[in-house]
Structure 1
C-alpha cells in the first residue's frame, strides 16, 4: 500500500514569517519615492517568497495580508493628508486584501510545480518563471479591478532611478518586473538546491543579472526639438484651499509673465490650471487668449468642462485666435476622487466624505494627443500616467514628446508627487520620449528620453521652465510588446499553475 508524500513543511515557521512579511512590506514601500532605495525591492521579494514556500492557503493569506497592508499602508499614506484616515484605510485594506488573496497562488505554485515538473531545469527556470508570472498577474489584476484598478504599486516602477530601468524600453515596465521577480526566485532555488557546488548551473541567475544590469536603451531616432514652456503657478488648487474668483488663472498668468518675449512653441499649464470652463465662460476664454497672444504660442491648459449632462477633466490646446478644436478628456477618472461608483451604497457608509464629491467625471474617449504645428504631442492627465494603454496609445499615434499635466495640491507635504514623478521618468525611458511633467504645486520636471533630468521646479514655489525639448520618433520594443507580454504572463502563469495542479494530483 503506497502513501503520497507528506506536504513540505514551511521554510519559515509562522511566528517568524509574520515579522518577515512585515519587513518585506516595509522594504518594498521604501523602494518607492520618497526614500527611493530601489535595491530594497529585491530583498523584499525574497523575504516574501520565503515566507510563502510550504504554507497552507490560510497561512499564506495571513502572511500576504501582513505584507500587503504594511506596504500599501505606507505607500498610499498621502491619501490621508486632508481627508483623514478613512480613505487611506479603505484603499489600504482593499489593495492589501486583494494582494493577500492573490499571493495564495504563489504558495500553490511552490507546492504543486516541483511535484509536477521534477528535475533541476524545472526548479531553476520553470518554477521561478511561473512564480514571477503569477506576481505580474497579481499586479495586472489589482491594476484593473475594482473600478478600473489602481496600478500604483507595480514593482517595475521602483527602478526609475536604477541602472535597471533601460530594460523597460525592451519589455515594458511589466517585463522589467517579471525579470526582477524571476531573478530573486532563481536565486532562492539555487540556494535551496545548493547549486554553488556545480558552477555551471549558476548560468541562469548570472544571465538574468547581466540582462538587468547591462541592457542598453532601445534606440529611438532624434527628430529635432520643440521649445516648450511649462508653468507651475502654485495657486490654491487643493480641494480645501480658500480661493477667490480667477485665483487659479491669476497664479498661472503671473508665473507665466517672466516668459513674455521669449521664443516659445508651446506653453503648458498643469491640470486644474484655470478656474472655469472657457467654453462656457467668456471671461476665462478671453484671459487664455490674451496669454496665448502674449506668449505667441498655443496654450495647453486644463479644467473641468461640461457637455450636456456630463462632466469631463479636459485638456485643451488654446490657440491665439481664441479657439480650441483639439481637446483630450482624462481617460481614467479617479474613483472616490473624481467620481463615486455605487454612490448610494458608499454614501450610507460615509455621507460626509462622499458628499464632498459633488461632480461626477465621465471617462474620456478621445485620443491622448494634440498636434502643434505638425508635431504630435502625447498627453496624460494626472493618474493616467500609470496606465499603460493610454501612454502607449499616444506613442503609437505618433507622439514625439510626452506632456503630463497633474495637480498634486491635495497631497502637499507628502511623497505622492515624488512617486508620480518617478512614474513619469519610467515612461520616458520605456517609450524613448522626452517628458514634460508639470504640476500645479510641484515637483515639476522636464526629463530626457534616457530618464535624466533637464530642469526642475521645487515644490510649493511658483516658477516656469523653458527648454528646447528633444523630439524623437520610432516605437520601442517595450511599447510594442507590453500588451502581448501582459497577456502571456497573466494567462500563462494561471495556465501553468493549473497544469501543475493536474500533474501533481496524478503523481
Structure 2
C-alpha cells in the first residue's frame, strides 16, 4: 500500500458546466478552516478547533497540484491572519487606514500559501500527514526572521495554552506542539478520505487505515501521556511575587506622548499596594514586578524610583525606558534593591519593527511621517539573560519576545528559577492581543517548567504556574496588583536540554521530504515522457 493522494481518489472528468463547483467548494473549505484556526486562539478556550482547521485544509489540498495548493493555503492564511491581527487597526488608528493590517496579513499568509503548495508535493509520499505537518511547522522558522526581523505571531503552538497537546511543550517547545496539532489535523483528513474513497476497498481495511489513524490519535495520546511528567512542585522553596498594573489610557499611538502619565500611574498603584501590605490586606511580597517601559530611568540617581522601592522595602524589577548618558535609549528591566538601588538590567533583544526600531527608515518616511516620532531603542545582546534579585535568578522575556523561543531559554540556561514577562499592551486597546500574548506565556511556563509573572501596563497581568494554569489575573484597563506564591524550580526540561535542535530537526525533515517529493515528481514525469515517446515510435513503425 502506498499512502498517496492519487491512490485515494482518481480524478473524474467533470460534467460540462459544473467545473466551477469543486473549485468553489475547496475555496469555501479553505476559508472556513482559516476561521476555525482563528477561533482556536485566545481569548477563547477552543484549542481543539486548531487540528480541525488543518483537517479542513488537508481536504482542500487533496488531489491538487502546487499552484492550486498555494492558492488554497494562501486563502487559509489570509482568513486567519486578517482575523487574528485586527488589533493592528486599533494600534494605528483611523489615520493609517487598513493597509498596514492588510499588507502584514497578506505577507504572513504567503508562508501558509507556500505550505499549501509544498504540501501537495509531499502528499504523494508514504505517510503524507507527517510530511504535510512538518512543512507547515518548518515554514514558521523563516517567518520568525523575515520580513523586518520576523513576526512569529500566530504560530500553531500558540493556539494551545491548555488542552491535550500543551504538555508536549516540555519536550520540544512550541515547534513540537504545533507539529502535533497539524499532524492530528492532516491525519484526520486522510482518514476521512480513506473512509469515503470508493476507488479501493483495500484502503478501508485495517492495514489501509493504519497510517491515518496513527497520525490522528498518536499526537493526542502522546500529549496526554507526557502530562504526568510536567513538574510543578517547588525545588528550592517558593517566592511571593507581586505584579503591578498601574493602568494607561486607551489611546493607541497617543501613548507615545504620555510617558509621564504612565509612570505616575504605576507609582500610585505601588503606593496603594504598600498601604495594603502595611494594613494586612495583602501579603508582603518577596519580589515586585513592574510592566515594560512603565517609567524613565537612567544611570545614577533616580529619586522617585529610589524612594518608591525604599519605602516599599521589597526588591523590584522595574520596566523602564533606560536612557544612557549619550542619549541612547534601551527597553530594559532593571533590578532595584531597597538598600543599594539599581543593579543589573536586562535589555530587550527582539525589538518591535516601527515601534522600537525603524527598518528601511528612508523608505518608511516616504510612506508616513509617523516613523519620525519613533525613538529607536538599542538592541540588547542577551548579556545578562537572567537577573539576580530577591535571592533568586529570574529570566526575562519582554513583551514581543514571548513569541520567540530564545529569550526565555537563554534565561533558563543562566540559572533562572522564575520567568518574568513585563509588557506594555496599552497600545492595542480592548482587543484580543493581550490574551494572545498571555497564551504564549502559558506555553512558555510548561516549556521551561517555570512559573511566569506577566506584568502589563493595562492588562492582562497574570500569575502563571509551571503547568500553564493561571492562578490570578487582572482585567483590561484597570489599576490593580496581583500577589501570589509561586514555586522556584531548577530542573531543566527536555525542551531546554534540546534547545533549538528540535526545531532544526523538524525543518531538516521537512526539507528532505520536499526534496524527495520533487524528485519523485520529476522521475514520474520523465517516465511518462519516455512512455509517450515509445508509443509514438511504435505507431510510426
Q: 1:375-413 CA distances to partner (integer Å, 9 max, x unpaired)?
A: 111111101011101111111211111110000101111
Root-mean-square deviation over aligned CA pairs: 2.5
Secondary structure of the 2:387 match is: strand
Whether 1:74 aligns to 2:67 is: no
Is the 2:165–2:219 Cα contact (8 Å) retained in structure 1?
A: no
Aligned to 2:498: 481
Secondary structure of the 1:227 match is: strand
| Count of aligned pairs | 485
Aligned to 2:229: 218
Q: 1:46-69 CA distances to partner (integer Å, 9 max, x unpaired)?
A: 111221222233222222221111
The whole-number CA distance in structure 2 between the counterparts of 1:38 and 1:362 is 37
Q: 1:122-161 CA distances to partner (integer Å, 9 max, x unpaired)?
A: 3xxx322211111111111212222221111111111112
The whole-number CA distance in structure 1 between the counterparts of 2:252 and 2:414 is 33
Whether 1:374 aligns to 2:391 is: yes
Q: 1:243-293 CA distances to partner (integer Å, 9 max, x unpaired)?
A: 67842222112111233235332111101211x23337x4xx111011111
Is the 2:291–2:424 Cα contact (8 Å) retained in structure 1?
A: yes
Aligned to 2:539: none
The whole-number CA distance in structure 1 between the counterparts of 2:392 and 2:252 is 33
Candidates 438, 456, 473, aligned match of 2:473: 456
> Which residues in structure 2 correspond to 1:225-264 (within 5 Å)?
225-236=238-249, 239-241=253-255, 246-260=260-274, 261=278, 263-264=284-285
> Which residues in structure 2 correspond to 1:113-192 (within 5 Å)?
113=125, 122=126, 126-192=127-193
> Which residues in structure 2 correspond to 1:46-445 (within 5 Å)?
46-84=55-93, 85-110=98-123, 112-113=124-125, 122=126, 126-194=127-195, 197-198=205-206, 201=210, 202-203=213-214, 205-220=216-231, 222=234, 223-236=236-249, 239-241=253-255, 246-260=260-274, 261=278, 263-274=284-295, 276-279=296-299, 282=301, 285-307=302-324, 308=326, 310-321=328-339, 323-348=341-366, 350-357=367-374, 359-365=375-381, 366-445=383-462
Shift of 1:423: 0.8
Runs of at least 4 residues off by over 6 Å: 5-8, 242-245
The whole-number CA distance in structure 2 between the counterparts of 1:404 and 1:95 is 25
The whole-number CA distance in structure 1 between the counterparts of 2:185 and 2:314 is 51
Shift of 1:415: 0.6
Is the 2:82–2:101 Cα contact (8 Å) retained in structure 1?
A: yes
Is the 1:65–1:100 Cα contact (8 Å) retained in structure 2?
A: yes
Is the 1:14–1:59 Cα contact (8 Å) retained in structure 2?
A: no
Aligned to 1:117: none
Of stretches 484-493 and 365-374 in structure 1, the one that deviates more from structure 2 is: 365-374
Aligned to 1:17: 26
Shift of 1:436: 0.6
Of stretches 97-106 and 159-168 in structure 1, the one that deviates more from structure 2 is: 97-106
Is the 2:41–2:47 Cα contact (8 Å) retained in structure 1?
A: yes
Secondary structure of the 1:239 match is: helix
Shift of 1:468: 2.1
Shift of 1:209: 3.2
**TM-score, normalised to structure 1's length?**
0.89
* 1:322 to 1:49, Cα distance in 2 relative to 1, 3 A: same
Aligned to 2:37: 28
The whole-number CA distance in structure 1 between the counterparts of 2:346 and 2:122 is 43
* 1:70 to 1:157, Cα distance in 2 relative to 1, 3 A: same
Secondary structure of the 2:223 match is: helix
* 1:233 to 1:454, Cα distance in 2 relative to 1, 3 A: same
